[in-house]
């Protein structure tokens, strides 16, 4: 492969100085130089391929520090990411149904809510889905709040005739009931093709690396598919995964069994494309699992069991990622982290708390000596009323290592430009104010949090997160300038080209 020179552009490097230049040189999967167009042409040499960017903006590939991509590859979906009206949602579902092969159910598994729509926010109805999908089962889930199904799905799922859902199509009951419903869906006929479609969709949004925290409902074949693609060099998205407990086990026997699993496994045994790098986000749910307004209530035995797991992880040299949302839950987690730190210092392991909307200045002071990092999600961009205000400015001013993620694909949307827009404007998609202006980020701060900072959280700072010589050539060529467009347009930015490891995985350099 000849060296590649991208010239006459605006290269936003997101390096330590946030320097901006006009050209960049790539050779194979790495960046070799940045500089002026003349400098890069001279550096690349006479045999290099030269692409004129025509003034377009280039940024590093975007990294999501909390995204359930492996679970997403288990089903083909019609996504409603950022859709802003009821009519547009129905149109997307209608188009999606028309594109499905025979026998494939019409599914949308979270990542949106009616509150993101402007104007009419009425829930979809069974009758509307009947009209959209006909005899094809259809199940459209709004975050973990509720779902609406059509007549064919209700019949296929065996919902009793006397059940209220038969009349309305509405499925309620929260996370447990919705995950139970999702577990009944038939597997796609071709798991690998479905996975490729999902990864391509991520690339089209500008995502080049995802930290997948495991979680509930992840089928082992989904990991096998990602592993197979990685072994053949066919992934288009870098996937970093975790060693976790998706079954929600409890008790001394579970803790001992999971601790044994930690001792037998090792982190960082994979590749730059697919690797397992942490324990979490679930390892003992009864100890740390919580939701906004609902802190965990572990017994003394639960606390001791979780401590056994954390002490084992520290002793075996494992990074740890803990789901924790509420201030009370974070108190418990930091207590346990401090005890494990006495067993073996965890600072080199960059243990983290993920979600963390309830984090306080007092928690940050406890995090500092432990080297704890924070993975903050943008869930409030969908439904402002149900999410605690994200402590963006508190974290930015803390000096700790932290980054932006989403918690997609069911609990939240995953478009990184919507996340960046939310962090800069403080607004939800539905027009509500989620953050007052002093609490928001500058465009530069938000971009750092979605690139360079996340690379550090994942132990990839020597490979990812910026555009500088020696790093991997993961980058986006944008349809507009992130740094100068009106703030409200940030959510509409689209990559013309997404490159991972120096090759286009979305769009084409020849079409620029």
Q: Which element (helix H / strand E) includes 496?
A: strand 495-500
Using CA atoms, how far residue 279 sits from 97, 213, 242, 250, in Å, is 38, 9, 5, 17
69/63 Cα distance (integer angstroms): 12
Task: Kindly list the domain boundaries of the chain, sorted by start residue.
Answer: 4-61+474-511, 75-182, 253-266+278-457
CATH class of 4-61+474-511: mainly beta
CATH class of 253-266+278-457: alpha beta
380/412 Cα distance (integer angstroms): 9
Look at residue 387 and tell me whether its pLDDT is greater than 80: no
- Secondary structure (3-state) at 400: coil
Give the tens place of pLDDT for each residue, 86-109. Answer: 999 999 999 999 999 888 999 999
Measured distance between the N- and C-terminal CA atoms of the chain, rounded to whole angstroms: 20
pTM beyond 0.95: yes
- In this prediction, residue 388 has a pLDDT band, given cuts at 50, 70 and 90, of low
Give the tens place of pLDDT for each residue, 256-280. Answer: 999 999 999 999 999 999 999 999 9
In eight-state DSSP terms, residue 108 is: E
- pLDDT for 435 equals 77
* pLDDT, average across residues 459-465: 98
Closest CA to 140 of 115, 162, 114: 114
- pLDDT for 432 equals 85
CA dihedral 207, 208, 211, 214 (to 10 degrees): 70
Q: What are the two backbone dihedrals, phi and then psi, of residue 47, each rounded to the nearest 5 degrees?
A: -90, 5
Look at residue 343 and tell me whether its pLDDT is greater than 70: yes
Give the tens place of pLDDT for each residue, 428-450. Answer: 999 888 877 778 999 999 999 99
Asked if domains 75-182 and 253-266+278-457 share a fold, the reply is no
Q: Which comes out higher in pLDDT, residue 17 or 246?
A: 17
Give the tens place of pLDDT for each residue, 206-248. Answer: 999 999 999 877 888 899 999 999 999 999 999 999 999 877 7
Q: What whole-number percentage of the chain has pLDDT above 70?
A: 98
Look at residue 475 and tell me whether its pLDDT is greater than 90: yes
CATH class of 75-182: alpha beta
Task: Answer yes or no: are the C-beta atoms of 81 and 37 closer than 8 Å.
Answer: no
Give the tens place of pLDDT for each residue, 398-436. Answer: 999 999 999 999 999 999 999 999 999 999 999 888 877
- pLDDT for 374 equals 98
Burial 345-356 (b: 16+ CB within 10 A, else e): ebeebbbbbbbb
Look at residue 325 and tell me whether its pLDDT is greater than 90: yes
Look at residue 177 and tell me whether its pLDDT is greater than 90: no
- Which range is least confidently modeled, 181-190, 220-229, 324-333, 470-479? 181-190
53/32 Cα distance (integer angstroms): 18
**Helix runs in 371-473, H state only:** 392-398, 416-425, 443-449, 452-457
Look at residue 367 and tell me whether its pLDDT is greater than 70: yes
Q: Which comes out higher in pLDDT, residue 13 or 161?
A: 13
Give the tens place of pLDDT for each residue, 119-154. Answer: 999 999 999 999 999 999 999 999 999 999 999 999
List for the chain the helix, strand, coil content (%; round to 5).
Answer: 40, 20, 40
Closest CA to 324 of 367, 287, 299, 349: 287
Tell me: cis bond preceding 281? Omega within 30 of 0 counts: yes
Look at residue 182 and tell me whether its pLDDT is greater than 80: no
Using CA atoms, how far residue 302 sits from 296, 314, 345, 351, 436, in Å, is 11, 18, 23, 20, 39
- In this prediction, residue 181 has a pLDDT band, given cuts at 50, 70 and 90, of confident
Burial class (CB in 10 A: 0-12, 13-18, 19+), 39: middle
Supply 245's token pair. Answer: 């407990």
- pLDDT for 190 equals 87
- pLDDT for 385 equals 61
Q: What whole-number percentage of the chain has pLDDT above 90?
A: 84
- pLDDT for 1 equals 61
- pLDDT for 458 equals 98
Q: Please, how many CA atoms are within 13 Å of residue 218, restricted to the half-sphere of its CB?
A: 29
- pLDDT for 380 equals 86
- pLDDT for 113 equals 96
Which residue, chain included where needed, has tokens 């006909």? Answer: 134
């Amino acid at each position: 492969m000849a060296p590649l020179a991208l010239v006459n552009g605006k290269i936003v490097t997101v390096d330590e100085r946030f320097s901006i230049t006009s050209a960049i040189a790539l050779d194979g999967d790495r960046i070799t130089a940045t500089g002026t167009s003349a400098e890069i042409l001279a550096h690349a040499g006479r045999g290099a391929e030269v692409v004129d960017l025509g003034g377009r903006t280039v940024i590093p590939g975007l990294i999501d520090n909390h995204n359930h991509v492996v679970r997403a590859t288990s089903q083909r979906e019609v996504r409603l990411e950022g859709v802003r009206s009821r009519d547009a949602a129905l149109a997307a579902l209608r188009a999606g149904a028309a594109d499905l092969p025979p026998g494939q159910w019409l599914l949308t598994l979270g990542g949106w809510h009616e509150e993101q729509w402007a104007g009419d926010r009425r829930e979809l109805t069974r009758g509307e889905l009947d009209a959209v999908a006909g005899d094809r089962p259809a199940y459209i889930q709004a975050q973990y709040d509720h779902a609406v199904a059509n007549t064919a799905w209700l019949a296929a799922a065996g919902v009793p005739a006397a059940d209220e859902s038969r009349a309305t199509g509405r499925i309620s009951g929260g996370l447990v009931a919705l995950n139970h419903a999702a577990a009944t869906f038939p597997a796609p006929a071709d798991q690998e093709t479905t996975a490729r479609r999902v990864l391509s969709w991520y690339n089209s949004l500008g995502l080049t690396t995802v930290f997948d925290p495991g979680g509930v409902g992840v089928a082992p074949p989904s990991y096998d598919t990602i592993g197979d693609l990685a072994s053949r060099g066919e992934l288009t998205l870098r996937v970093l995964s975790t060693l976790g407990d998706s079954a929600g086990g409890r008790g001394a026997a579970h803790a001992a069994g999971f601790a044994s699993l930690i001792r037998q496994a090792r982190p960082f045994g994979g590749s730059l494309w697919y690797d397992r790098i942490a324990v979490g986000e679930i390892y003992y749910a009864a100890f740390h699992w919580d939701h906004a307004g609902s802190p965990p209530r572990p017994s003394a035995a639960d606390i001791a069991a979780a401590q056994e797991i954390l002490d084992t992880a520290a002793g075996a040299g494992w990074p740890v990622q803990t789901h924790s949302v509420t201030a009370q839950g974070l108190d418990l987690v930091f207590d346990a982290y401090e005890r494990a730190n006495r067993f073996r210092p965890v600072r080199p392991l960059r243990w983290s708390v993920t979600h963390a909307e309830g984090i306080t200045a007092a928690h940050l002071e406890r995090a500092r000596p432990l080297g704890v990092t924070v993975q903050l999600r943008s869930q409030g961009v969908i439904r402002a009323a149900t999410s605690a205000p994200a402590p963006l400015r508190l974290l930015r001013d803390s000096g700790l290592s932290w980054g932006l993620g989403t918690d997609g694909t069911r609990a939240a949307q995953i478009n990184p430009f919507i996340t960046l827009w939310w962090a800069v404007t403080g607004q939800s998609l539905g027009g509500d104010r989620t953050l007052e202006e002093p609490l928001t980020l500058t465009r530069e701060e938000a971009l750092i949090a979605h690139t360079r900072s996340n690379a550090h959280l994942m132990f990839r700072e020597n490979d990812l997160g910026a555009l500088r010589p020696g790093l991997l050539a993961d980058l986006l060529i944008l349809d507009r300038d992130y740094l100068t467009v009106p703030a409200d347009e940030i959510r509409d930015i689209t990559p013309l080209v997404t490159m991972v490891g120096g090759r286009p995985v979305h769009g084409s350099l020849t079409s620029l």
